Amino acid sequence: MTQKTIDENIDNTPDADEEMLVATQYQLMWWGFKKHKPAMISGVVLFIFYVMFPLAEFLGIGDPAQVRTQFHYIRPQALHFFESTVDGNKFNPHVKGVRGLRDPFTHKKDYEVLDDVILPVGLFQTSWDYKFLGVLKTRKHLIGFKHEEFWADPKRAEQTPEQLAKSIDRELKKRPSLYLLGSDKVGRDQWSRLLLSNRISLSIGLIGVTLSFLFGITLGGISGYYGGFVDTVIQRIIEVIQSVPTLPLWIGLSAAVPRDWAVLQVYLAITIILSVLGWTGTARVVRGKFLSLREEDFVMAAQIAGANEGRIMFRHMLPSFYSHLIAQVSLSIPGMIIGEISLSFLGLGLRPPAVSYGIMLQQAQNPQVVALYPWLMFVAVPVIFIVLAFNFLGDGLRDAADPYGGRTS
């Protein structure tokens, strides 16, 4: 390679420093975020959880609200993909049947796996009815029993849709659900309830953090921009709220929620309680930023140009540290989720028939029950994954909010 060719290649190579100087704030943040591998993986994990959010009923197997005490505390059923036949192993996804037994001494009910009873399992099977995405009424689920004998009956072709629906319901009641994660003390499917719990807890986290950030940004911005008496009053309110221990304050406010309220009313009340108590940290961050920015040249230029105070605060000052707020949002959501779980676990938050992680964990309060039925504790696994994922994501976003710390291509 000649010297001339080398010089041309050097001239055509983009200057990394110059590229950073002309990049937007969000480009710089993305470059920094890509370097944080745990945060990238956590983002994928949370994306999967939020995709399951609207598809909870479709992914569910059994009706999460149906009580069938004859199938209580069934162990998680193993899903087998191959069936042994005289011709060798044949691909046939299935679970083995079970039969209830009663211990003559302890009277504890247990289940015996019946190796000779094969229950075929397939994709897109018919089960309990629901509204897909809250709109389209259907009975199709991602996975379920095939009910081959039921559909082979020639009577099915002669039945009206209403008669067929009743026949399906009778068929579903005759046999246990597909209990991949076992059942609870009244025979409800743990997997389906776990999916609905994911929806409730994650939505409370998102809505609660959104409301708390609206409170925090508004009051913190007013406090930092105006200063003086307004700043003093808002800061004293923040100090009073932060001086009260969190758990007793949650308990006191939750106990004030009427016991006869509907599930939706309790859901909204708990969300508002968590958000009202969670805005103080954001308000102090925003106040500090506004105090340092209100004397900057771009703020004075906006004032001279005749911009009103609301526009200066929320169109000029606030966007200058959006990246820090985004990082703080991701770090605040786990606190909201844990708050809802704690209140529901103590019986002060959501109440049955609502389903949430905290309500499901109530079943595991008794150590003896956990020792006998350990699958009831599985609900803690997604909670741990969600909280860790949000924390790693928040760390990555916080590091990316300082984009000039260097980047890799």
Where are the chain's structural domains? 42-52+189-405, 65-174
Contact 52, 165 (CB under 8 A): no
| Per-residue pLDDT, 156 | 60
Is the model's pLDDT at 78 over the cut of 70? Answer: yes
Tell the residue number behind the tokens 């001239």, with chain if given. 11
Is the model's pLDDT at 261 over the cut of 50? Answer: yes
Average pLDDT of 240-268?
77
Burial class (CB in 10 A: 0-12, 13-18, 19+), 170: exposed
Is the model's pLDDT at 325 over the cut of 70? Answer: yes
Bridge partners for 80 per DSSP:
94
Average pLDDT of 181-189?
87
CA 75 to CA 268: how far, in whole Å?
Answer: 35
Is the model's pLDDT at 350 over the cut of 60? Answer: yes
Global pTM?
A: 0.78
Is the model's pLDDT at 7 over the cut of 60? Answer: no
Among 67, 80, 98, 94, which residue's Cα sits nearest to residue 193? 67
Contact 38, 390 (CB under 8 A): no
Amino acid at 238: I
| Domain 42-52+189-405 of CATH type 3.30.1360.170 | no
State the average pLDDT for the chain.
80
| Per-residue pLDDT, 233 | 92
Average pLDDT of 72-98?
84
At CA 206, angle to CA 203 and CA 212, rounded to 5? 130
The confidence band for 161, taking pLDDT boundaries of 50, 70 and 90, is: low
CA 294 to CA 228: how far, in whole Å?
Answer: 14
CA 147 to CA 191: how far, in whole Å?
Answer: 20
| Per-residue pLDDT, 45 | 92
Average pLDDT of 350-368?
83
The confidence band for 406, taking pLDDT boundaries of 50, 70 and 90, is: very low
